[in-house]
Each structure stands twice: as C-alpha cells, then as structure tokens.
Structure 1
Amino acid sequence: MKKTILFTLLIAASFSCKEDFINLQPISEMNAGTFYKTEQDMNQAVMSPYASLQALYNQLYIYVGEVRSDNTTFSWVPGNSKDMTSIDNFGDVLLSDNSFVTNLWNNAYNTILRSNIVLDKIEDVPFTDPKLKEQYKAEARFIRALTYFYLVRIYGDVPKVDHELSVKEAYTLGRTPTQEIYDFIVEDLKFAEANLPASYAAVNKGRVTVGGAKGLLAKVYMTMAGYPLKKGAPYYALAEAKALEVINSPQYSLVPDYKALFDPNQKNGPESLFEVQYKKGGTGTGSPWNNDFAPRFSNKEVVLVGDKSGFNAPTPSMSNAYETGDPRKAISMSDGYVSVPGGVTVNEKYVKKYYDVSFSGSDNNNNWIELRLADIYLLYAEALVRQKKQLDVALTYLNKIRQRARNSTGGSASVLPDYAPFSSDDAFLLAIEKERRVELAFENHRWFDLVRTERAKPVMIQEQQVQNGFSPSAWNDNMLLFPIPLQVIQSNPDKIKQNPGY
C-alpha cells in the first residue's frame, strides 16, 4: 500500500516498561498516542529508539559494513539469493528493489521516527528536573545522529526529517544534500555532548554518555575530512581534538585482554563508549550473531544451541591480514572446525568474536559494540598523521593497540612487536589501516574506512579479482553508494531520484 512505502511513517513507536534499561517490553500501539504525560512516561518513551537499533544491527549494518568490504563473504546462501550475493559480489547487479537495501532504509527511518516522536512530545511534559529533560532529548538526538551517519554513508543524499511527519508532509520530501545531513548530525551530537552525563547508575548502564557523543563526533569529523566531502585538514584537527577529549577522560581505558571485550558477561566495560543492548532469555531482545555466523552445516562443534546460517564468513584475505601469532585472530575467527562425528577438518571460515550459548534459536546475550576506545586511539593516530604532526604521539597510540593485543589471551612477548618509526606518511597510514582492519574486524567499520580514505577502489578490485574474477575495468565509483530503494522512488518520483549507476 502506498501509505506504508515512505519511511514507514505509519509504524508507531513501541515503548518500554523497564525493570532495567535492557528489559525492552513494548506496550500496545493503541496506548502510544496518549502516553506522554510524566517524566516516567518519557523515560520509557526514550527507550523506543534504543530498541529500534536492534533491527538495524541484527544483520543489515553487517551486510553493508562487512560483507560489502573485503573482510567477509557468504559461505552459504539460500537458493539463488541475488539480494545477498549482489551486496558481496561487485560483478552482480545490485538492484534498487534489493530487500536488504529496502529494509535498512525503512528500519533506519523508523528509528529516526521514534527519536523525533520523543523530541516532539517531550516539550509539553512537565519535569521537576530540567536537566533530565535535556538528557532525554540528548539521548534521542544521539540515536538520530548515529542513524543518519549510517544513512548518509550508505545512500549519500537522504531526506532530512527533524520532526514527526504527517503522511502528507512525507510525500513532499526530497533528498537533502550530503553536506547538510552531516551538518545536521554534528548539530545533534553537539547537543548530546552538552547534555549527556558521564555515566549512569547500574540500572541504566548502556544508555549513551557524553563519551559516546564525543567519540561519534570524532568519527564524523574524520569522515567529513575524507571522501566524499574532502574537507581535509581543518576537520582532521576537529577529529583530533575530540578524540583526545575521549582519550583523556578517566571514564575509559583499554580492557587488558582483547578476549574480555566480547565476553557477554562483561558488557558495557571500561573500553566501551556505546553498545547496542541485547539480552537473551526468550523475550525477543537477544542477539543472533553467534548462530548467524556459524557454518551452515556444522553441528555442535561451533554453536551448542540453535540454527547456523553461514553468513559473514571471513575471506582468505581477512585471515591472512593477521600476523603470525596475533591472538586477535583466534579470538575473532577460525579457519575451520573439526566435524563431530567424523573428526574431519572442515576448512570453512567463520566469525567467533560473538560467541555465546543461545537460550533458544538465535537468542544470545552479546551486545554490539558500536564505539570503543581502541577505535578512537586509531582515529586519533590517523588524524595526527594526516596533519603531518606529532608523529611520535601517533606512533605511541598505534603501538598501544598492539601492546594490548600481544598481552591478551593466547599472545606472547614475541609476537606483534611495536612498530618502528615509518619512512613515510603513506606507510604509516597503511599500517593504521591494517591495524584497524584486524583490531576492529567484524564490527562494521571496514567498508566505511575504505570509502572515506579513498582506498575502496584498489582494495576491492584486488579482492574481487581473487574471489569473483571481477575485471578492474568494470569498477565504477557509483559502487561506493547503495541504490535508493525502488519503493521510495516510486512513492515520490518527482522529488527522489536514484543514485547514478542504478
């Protein structure tokens, strides 16, 4: 139906009653319209955009952040699923009616809708504590900014929606220029930075803090400095300054053991700036990745409970990117498994970073770490190198990542020696790129790193040649963006035009 096409505007926000922050149980849609009366109502209302993030991180962001890159592929696809293979294989035609591309758009705008509902309704609700009202607004604006940050990197120009729209308004919207979307993101994050607390009591652990806003702002500035806006040195300086604020905060420190970062019993730890919250137990809020990433035809050698889907499998080049003895490899992935029964070695790579024993089906306890301190260290080092300043400091922060890695479970003093000073800035930047790849593997960073640094073309041509016989002459920079969903264009063809090449 036409009314459901654009932005899923008629999908009502679901709100949460809570014993703690991650018990996300929606109340009925019928009650939502008369729900906004008290501070407590708004506290539950602001849970809705948080909950909405789960649908985006379950699979959709993984497809565009990892499978699109040289990090992962599909070890198994159901039937002849062009929707999946065309994201992975640049030789296949990525169509505008791709179900994953469409679902990502709809779920992202649903998340924005939920944030906007909070921002629209909260002004009429009396608060005894004005700071608390600003905090709730800041949380909604952070989630809106985070969602737009994904949208603008995936689709380019996208409609800017800053309030709850009527259906009539929705059909008047066109695409907003990328620069204006980034300005909007920065404005939201600056408000969030000014109004979020540094931490929360245990019952609210997992809500975004000022550190999360600063960290995301640093990342946004780094992206604005690179492709496609190419704002250069002034924005690398902004990223440097904001990253340093996070680094200097006593709130954050590197977890001594890399393996502990992904322990589902140690969530929201001292390295984490922002995590998308999940909780297993049959409530519909568990995470699926341990099951989704397991080889499709494995038995209980890989996962003990639930199905196996065989997607997001590491590529050979990802496996080879780890230096010999790097403990992060064994923690993050495996090159195969030994079948039971049979004892046969099956050479099928899979991600093991998100291991947990499912409650049932695909119901695990892992959070998704969207921002963490190691990411900020590496962005800080890169920002310094790109400004050709304090190269010794940049080297220090690059080596801090390697030091933590070699001291982690399975490491030793003989592996991952510190980098020596580099002979050129280009060599330094390639080392940072490599370290980001192995440190942040399978965390949705790789594709966006390649695009912003203008490394996607050479890296992906080489990867696609090896994996799919892709011809370098077939590369087109249009591949750096995804198509606008066909349904969205059909809903407003005069205002919303397709990206070039689709």
Structure 2
Amino acid sequence: MKKIFLSLSLACALMTLAGCEKDLEQNPLSNGSVPDFYKTAADFDQAMSSVYSSLRAYPDREVVLSELRSDNMFAVSSIGSRDWDPINNFSAALLVINPYVADAWASDYSTIFRANTMLEQLAQNGAATGSLRTRYEGETKFIRAFMYLDLVRKFGKVPVIDKPLIPQEVALIKRGEVAQVYALIEADLRTAIANLPAAYTGSGVGATLGVGRVTSGAAKALLALVYLTKSGPTYGINGPGLASNEYDKANVLLDEIINRTGTPISASYSLQSTYANIFSPTNENNSEVIFDLQYISNGTGTLGSSFMNVVAPDGYYTSLALPFSAGSVEIKPTSNDLNTVSYSATDLRRAVNIQQGYTNAGTTDTRPFFKKYINVAAKGTSRTDWATNFIVMRYADVLMMKAECEVRNVGGSPATAAARLTPLRTRAGLPALTTIDLPGLMEERRREFAGENLRWNDLMRSGLALTTMNAWILREDPPTGNPPTYKITRPLTADLLLYPVPQVELSSAPGLYDQNPGY
C-alpha cells in the first residue's frame, strides 16, 4: 500500500490551490486565490494529499503547547529566555506575543483554508465523482474538525469559517461562540463517519491508497473525544468544556469501535502484545493505531518528521553517534514528577517512555527526558528527516475513554472501568484493579500516554487542571533566593487555562477580536 506522506513541498506545487507557504503565513485564515487546479481525479487526489500535508508540523508544536504545559514536563532555559519558557511558566504578558501560540492559530487556519477549498471544489467540480467524491468529503471534513477541535481546546472562542474567503472577508468575522465551533465539528465528523470506509484495500488513483488516510473508526473515536471534551467543566471561562453531559453519546460511539458494531462497521483494532512494539519503527501502522501522521526519510528532510527532537537534548543524539543535533540545544524538559511520583518501579512503560539521563564524552547529564519515539533505526540524514510516524490516536485511548464513561456510571461502573484497564495494566506488568475513580483513571492515562501530548487536555476535560497543576507547581518549582522567586505563575487561575488570541491576529484586524480574560 502507498502511504500518504506529509509533504509541504507538495503544497507549494499547488500554487493555485493555497499559495506558497510564505503566503499562508501572511494570511493564515485565507489566501484569496481562485483555484484553477482541479481538472482530473488525479488532481483531486493530489489536493487531498495537500490537506494531509499541512499537518506535518502539528506534533512538533503540540509537544510544547500541550505536553510541556502539563505536569509531565518542566522546561526552563538555563541561559536567557527561550520561546517555550512563557508556556512552561504561564506568563500571561509574554504568551500574547509567543511564536508557538501564534503558529498554532495560523497553522490550524491554514489547514482549514485548504480543507475549505477542497470542499468547495468537490461541490462545484465534476472531476471527482461517486464514491471517490464521497470519501474525499469525509477525509476533508475529518481534518477540518480535527483542526477546529485543536483551536477550541487552545483558544476557546474562534472564528468559524466553513468556506474559502479572501482576506477582506475574513476581516469581518468575529470569534464564534464555543457551541458554534462544536456544531461545525460534530456535523463534519458525522459526515466523515458516514462517508469513510472502515479500512482501505486495492489500488488506483484516490481509491485505496490506505495507510495514513482516516477511516470511519478514526472519525468515531474523534467524535467520542469531542463529546467527552464538551462534557467537561466550564471553569467559568469560554473554554472547551461546556458541562454538556454527553457521556452517553461518547459511550455509544466507543462501544461501536470496541464491539465492531454500527454502520459502517469499524475496522478491527487490537492492543499490541508489548508496549514498546507500538512505537517500533519496524511495526508502524500496527493494529493499535487508529490515526497517525505519516513520515519517511527521503534524504532532504522534506518528508521526514522532527517532533522527537523537541524533547531530546543534543548530547543524547551525540551519544548515539547520530551525525546531527536534535535542534533543541536548551529545551531539555525533565519529567521528574512523572518519573518518580506516578510510575511504580515495576511499570514496564517507564523504561520505554523515559530515558534516565545519558553520558556523552565522559560527561553525564542525569536529567530524564522522553525518548519513546527516538530509535536510531528510523534516523535519516538530518534532524528533520526521521522516518517516524506520530500516533494521534490509538486503541488504548478508545479503551480508556470508554473507562472514562464508566467511572461516571455511563455504560458501566467504576468496577467495569477498572476491568477495562486490565489488558493495559497486564501489558505494563501491573496487577489488575478492582475499582477506580476519575483521578486514578487520569493517572493511568498519564502513564500510558506519556510523551504523546494528551496530558494537558486530559486534565482540562476531567476538571483536574487547577488542583493538579497547583499541587504540582509546589513540588516541581520550589522557591529560590531571598526573597523567594518562582518560575511559574502561581496560583494558577482559570483565566490562564486558555491561550490568548495572538497579538498578530489582534493587530491584523483591530477591534475584530476580543482578547481572552487574563491577558
């Protein structure tokens, strides 16, 4: 089968589709060009690949904006101040102008623009027909929903744009209410569930190229996550939680995936026999993977991944005799709290997830860091040329989301939730539990998905963000000096749970957007 490779060079080839990358950076919501590209079915397939390709840098920024923001990491520069410091420290004044925050907004909307252009052409152009057109619509709407979920979880209210617009039109669209954003997300995912196959087989243009394309099972899993996120607490802010109590809707979808029921029937997913095997570069696209982003090493760094570099110190790469740096000279996020507080000594996942320091040229650095995706067998010729896929969602997450419903007595009970976790705990070398509560389940998720950029969003939707983070801050960021000084803003308040609207967006259309409280 042929992979869908994430290639931004492909996007530049589609100049009339979405402009070159420089143009996308200048106009993050829209480019304004009228496409003259879609003439054949092969053109549509290339355009579909371009929509996928725009996700290439997604995991790199998620490491910083989600994993580092949580209690899984504490990353403070030893020299000067780096762009990740304000994120680690919840520094309100600096986050408004932070490049990571600005890039998340701009990149998500760039992907949305490509998706909107594709959908408009599918509606107006007859080159893609029948089941091919139906499936392209499902794939595109899945990706658009994925981006809007990312936006609403980071910023709360955001502009809702469902068609290609020129910059002058974009400048008239205010931030939509969170419920309005969710309405589009849910509609898109319901279409994706109906339109997408459970799996891909065969060959041919746009037909069953398979590996890397989204499926109905992926759409069901993402929609279940949407319902869980919506059901989370509001914290008194215009954030992703609406306290909507839609656990029953999530439970139905999760049952369909687990039990292979519903129409269309979900593909058969299963857990891998060992935890390490999930992330092996020789076992990618395995039975546990529901949706991942595809990369290959092609010698130029245009098709490879680089997300694992964000958390690995340069010295570790040198100790592995890799001929290039990680690219993160100063960002050495430690995970001491996760390492020493959450994992037990017998948990087999800890050794896969966390490297306990390293020695290079006789110098030892004792700080732990995430290494689960780093494997020399997947190295390329540069730090952006790794042949390592990024798993966005896997079957273990489906099982744990089902348990999340059960601990709330929806579709089960705390006892059945504990039983649901038994295969995961057995794989990790741990005994079964007889019951579990929500905080305990979130710790189980923390250990299972460490380094996969899920922790912050888990804390948010569970209602544990403020209590967990404020307790962690006291442990991980003790005062120094006299009078005492701290790195992280304390106490953490609800207003800081969202990111601010980037200053570049506020400046581009003065008076259009209101800023999130606290900034």
For the superposition of Structure 1 and Structure 2, which TM-score range results when normalised by the shorter chain?
A: 0.7 to 0.9
Amino acid at match of 1:429: L
- Report the CA distance between 1:78 and its aligned residue: 6.6
Kindly report structure 1 stretches of 4+ aligned residues shifted beyond 6 Å: none
* Separation of aligned partners in 2, 1:66 and 1:194: 33
Kindly indicate whether the alpha-carbon contact (under 8 Å) linking 1:158 and 1:177 is maintained by their aligned counterparts in 2. yes
Is residue 2:510 matched to residue 1:493? yes
Is residue 2:300 matched to residue 1:289? no
- Report the CA distance between 1:230 and its aligned residue: 5.3
Amino acid at match of 1:208: V
- Report the CA distance between 1:106 and its aligned residue: 0.6
Is residue 2:351 matched to residue 1:330? yes
- Report the CA distance between 1:360 and its aligned residue: 1.7
SS in 1 for 2:95: coil
* Aligned twin of 2:335: 315
Where do 5+ consecutive residues of structure 1 fail to align?
1-17, 407-415, 423-427
Kindly indicate whether the alpha-carbon contact (under 8 Å) linking 1:156 and 1:481 is maintained by their aligned counterparts in 2. yes
* Separation of aligned partners in 1, 2:315 and 2:373: 19
TM (normalized to structure 2)?
A: 0.85
Amino acid at match of 2:13: S
* Aligned twin of 2:36: 34
1:189/1:380 CA distance change after superposition, 3 Å: same
- Report the CA distance between 1:329 and its aligned residue: 0.7
1:478/1:75 CA distance change after superposition, 3 Å: closer
* Separation of aligned partners in 2, 1:167 and 1:246: 41
1:20/1:487 CA distance change after superposition, 3 Å: same
Is residue 2:5 matched to residue 1:22? yes
* Aligned twin of 2:249: 238
- Report the CA distance between 1:91 and its aligned residue: 5.6
- Report the CA distance between 1:289 and its aligned residue: 3.1
Is residue 2:373 matched to residue 1:354? yes
SS in 2 for 1:370: strand
- Report the CA distance between 1:234 and its aligned residue: 4.3
* Aligned twin of 1:419: 433
- Report the CA distance between 1:76 and its aligned residue: 4.7
- Report the CA distance between 1:361 and its aligned residue: 1.9
* Separation of aligned partners in 1, 2:321 and 2:49: 31
Deviation by residue 1:54-99 (Cα, 9 ceiling, x = unmatched): 1222x21111210000111336567422x31010013674431111
1:303/1:447 CA distance change after superposition, 3 Å: farther
TM (normalized to structure 1)?
A: 0.88
Any residues of structure 2 matched to 1:81-480 within 5 Å, and which?
81=82, 83-90=83-90, 93-127=93-127, 129-201=129-201, 203-228=209-234, 232=243, 234-249=245-260, 251-283=268-300, 284-298=302-316, 300-302=318-320, 304-308=322-326, 309=328, 311=331, 313-320=333-340, 321-339=342-360, 341-342=361-362, 344-357=363-376, 358-362=379-383, 363-387=385-409, 390-391=412-413, 392-406=415-429, 416-422=430-436, 428-468=437-477, 469=479, 474-480=491-497
Kindly indicate whether the alpha-carbon contact (under 8 Å) linking 1:255 and 1:271 is maintained by their aligned counterparts in 2. yes
Kindly indicate whether the alpha-carbon contact (under 8 Å) linking 1:398 and 1:432 is maintained by their aligned counterparts in 2. no
SS in 1 for 2:74: strand
1:236/1:389 CA distance change after superposition, 3 Å: same
* Separation of aligned partners in 2, 1:312 and 1:151: 27
User: What's the RMSD between the two structures over aligned residues?
Assistant: 2.2
Kindly indicate whether the alpha-carbon contact (under 8 Å) linking 1:141 and 1:192 is maintained by their aligned counterparts in 2. yes
SS in 2 for 1:371: strand
SS in 1 for 2:333: strand
* Separation of aligned partners in 1, 2:93 and 2:142: 35
* Aligned twin of 1:15: none
* Separation of aligned partners in 1, 2:339 and 2:159: 39
* Aligned twin of 1:412: none
* Separation of aligned partners in 2, 1:298 and 1:348: 11
